[in-house]
């Protein structure tokens, strides 16, 4: 937000236990042209300001080597934030701004068990060869999707 406050990065709101995901499906997702790939240090507010949750199946958070470091399921993140932090009429960006300015959140590095380590429900879109957070895939790919365990 400003020079005196830490910035909440997209990795701070990402599911981070990506090692438990299927490596082939992760690789396919990283290659899929419709997937949004974002560097891990990108401000979360910037990312959520430019997406349409209803049209974004998943955000892949990558490091400088294009290795997957986190997964953001936008619809799931919005629900988690609304349920745990939101107030009436607040948008996801409003909630992220409030969290970024909150000294308690700054001390904890914006990390939360419910945000970073509870796995969102993921699906694999066989038509587009990528992970998604809902079925049917919001990218409109033909083909069945399957729920991940």
- What percentage of the chain carries pLDDT values higher than 90? 23
Average pLDDT over residues 29-49: 90
Reply yes or no on whether the pLDDT at 5 is more than 70: no
pLDDT for 52: 78
Average pLDDT over residues 78-97: 82
Which residues are CB-neighbours of 59 under 8 A, at least 6 positions away? 10, 14, 36, 37, 38, 47, 51, 71, 72, 73, 74
Reply yes or no on whether the pLDDT at 64 is more than 80: yes
Average pLDDT over residues 14-31: 89
Residue 63 binned pLDDT confidence (cut-offs 50, 70, 90): very high
Residue 3 binned pLDDT confidence (cut-offs 50, 70, 90): low
pLDDT for 40: 95
pLDDT digits (tens, 9 = 90+) for 117-138: 777 888 998 888 888 888 888 7
pLDDT for 83: 82
Closest CA to 30 of 120, 101, 129: 129
- Could you give the count of Cα atoms lying within 13 Å of 128 in the half-sphere of its Cβ? 22
Reply yes or no on whether the pLDDT at 44 is more than 90: yes
pLDDT for 70: 92
pTM: 0.84
Measured distance CA(2)–CA(111) in Å, rounded: 20
């Amino acid at each position: 937000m400003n020079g005196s406050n830490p910035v909440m990065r997209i990795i701070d709101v990402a599911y981070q236990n990506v090692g438990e995901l299927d490596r082939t499906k992760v690789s396919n997702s990283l290659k899929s042209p419709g997937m949004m790939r974002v560097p891990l240090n990108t401000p979360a507010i910037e990312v959520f300001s430019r997406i349409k949750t209803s049209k974004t199946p998943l955000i892949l958070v990558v490091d400088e080597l294009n290795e997957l470091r986190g997964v953001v399921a936008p619809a799931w993140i919005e629900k988690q934030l609304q349920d745990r932090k939101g107030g009436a009429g607040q948008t996801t960006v409003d909630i992220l701004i409030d969290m970024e300015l909150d000294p308690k959140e700054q001390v904890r590095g914006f990390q939360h068990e419910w945000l970073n380590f509870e796995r969102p429900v993921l699906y694999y879109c066989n038509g587009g060869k990528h992970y998604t957070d809902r079925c049917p895939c919001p990218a409109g790919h033909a083909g069945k999707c399957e729920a991940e365990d």
